Amino acid sequence: MVATTPRNTRQRRAVAAILDDLDGFASAQEIHDILRHRGESVGLSTVYRNLQALVDASEIDALRNDDGEVLYRQCSTGHHHHLVCRACGRTIEVAGPTVERWADGVADKHGFVDVAHTLEIFGTCGACAASAD
């Protein structure tokens, strides 16, 4: 169970570069398309693998939209939640210390262990709302 260092491949660098450039959340397929259009084509399987590896290493965040697609984003470190635009993916990280304590307290009160929570706020950002008139 020794932690193996992942290899520094062109594909791994390309995926990381996209995540670095992108501002908001994006799906694996969107990232795959962006790579294709940049001429740095990477196999879809490889995109998925590298994204999963980054999630496992806690280097990026993942969440599911209403359609069940998984979206990825390079976030700041530490526990936080997101305010996400459904149209363009623009994201604002939010911290809610009160919510954290409340969630843990609720679970504890009812004898639940190994507790985690999901909390995301979805909406339409000002720019997308303006362009939708």
> Which residues would be at the binding site for a copy of itself (CB under 8 A)?
64, 68, 70, 83, 85-86, 92, 94, 96, 98-99, 102-103, 106-107, 110-126, 129
Distance, in Å, from the CA atom of 84 to the CA atom of 103, rounded to the nearest integer, reads 21
> Site for DNA (CB under 7 A): how many residues?
25
Hey, which residues between 1 and 20 contact DNA (CB under 7 A)? Answer: 4-12
CB closer to DNA, 32 vs 81 = 32
Q: Do residues 84 and 61 lie in contact, with contact meaning Cβ atoms separated by under 8 Å?
A: no
E strand or H helix at 3, and its extent?
none
Query: From Zn ion, a copy of itself, DNA, none, which one binds at residue 17 (CB under 5 to 8 Å depending on kind)?
Result: none
In three-state secondary structure terms, 16 is: helix
E strand or H helix at 79, and its extent?
none
